[in-house]
Amino acid sequence: NELEFYRNEYSEVKSFVTNQLDSPNLNPSNRHEFKKFSVGKNRFVKPFAYVLSSLAIIASALVLIINFTGPNNYKLASLDDEFNISTARGRTTDNFELSIMALEAEDYQKAIEYLSDDIKMNSEDETIFYSYYILGLTHLKTAQRDFLGLFPSIDKGSAKTAIINFTKAIENNTHGKFPNVNLDAYFYIAKASLMLEDSRTARKYLEKVVTEKGSKMNEAKQILNEL
């Protein structure tokens, strides 16, 4: 653990200093100066090592506290590693492809700009629903925030914008070719609703995903069991 690590680090430093003092090659006058220096250093290194150890213990304790007492809705709404982008929806516009590249680079703001431009320039395209869908996902991703991996928080403005774009995706996907995109959009509307602490709306959409057997059905069931 962290405490053991810092203890080992301190032991290695102390061992090195001792070996240097015991070295037969060390000039006697230098040995005297080195002892004076090492004593001074020891007064600094030892407290410093314990300070680092204490900070590590405090950080570990904070992680445990947050995991056990943090907002349950935030945990259920977390995207974790499921934020995967599929391009197999027939959209080949320049802005859409640039948005995918930006997402792969985790440049979410740039992706939002490209997707917004794609929607403005190609609003009548049959597959424009997918740009709305990816835009919704991107806003949902940016809604999750934390500080140094601790103290999670939600940007409610981004969560609300995500819902608007998922709704637009559903409204524009009416030709029946990609029904599962709508069910996935319902699932993510539920997650955004959880971010907004609206468990009732989240439950409604999660139940819809389960009833209609969407690709996120198992995840929806798991969240419903924890609500």
Q: What is the pLDDT of residue 175?
A: 84
User: What CATH code would you report for 73-226?
Assistant: 1.25.40.10
Q: What is the pLDDT of residue 125?
A: 93
147 DSSP β-pair partners: 150
What does the block give as tokens for 125?
Answer: 């395209």
Q: pLDDT by residue for the chain (227 residues), tens digit each?
A: 444 544 444 455 445 445 544 555 555 555 555 555 555 555 555 555 555 666 666 555 555 444 544 456 677 877 765 556 654 456 889 999 999 999 889 899 999 999 999 999 999 999 999 999 999 999 999 988 765 555 567 889 999 999 999 999 999 999 888 899 999 999 999 999 999 999 999 999 999 999 999 999 999 999 999 98
Q: Is 80 helix (H, G, I), strand (E, B) or coil?
A: coil
Burial class (CB in 10 A: 0-12, 13-18, 19+), 113: middle
Amino acid letter, 123: S
Q: At what angle do helices 199-211 and 179-195 cross, to 10 degrees?
A: 160
pTM listed for this prediction:
0.68
Q: Are 166 and 118 in contact (CB under 8 A)?
A: no
Q: Which residue, among 127, 140, 139, 131, has the nearest Cα to 173 in the 3D structure?
A: 127
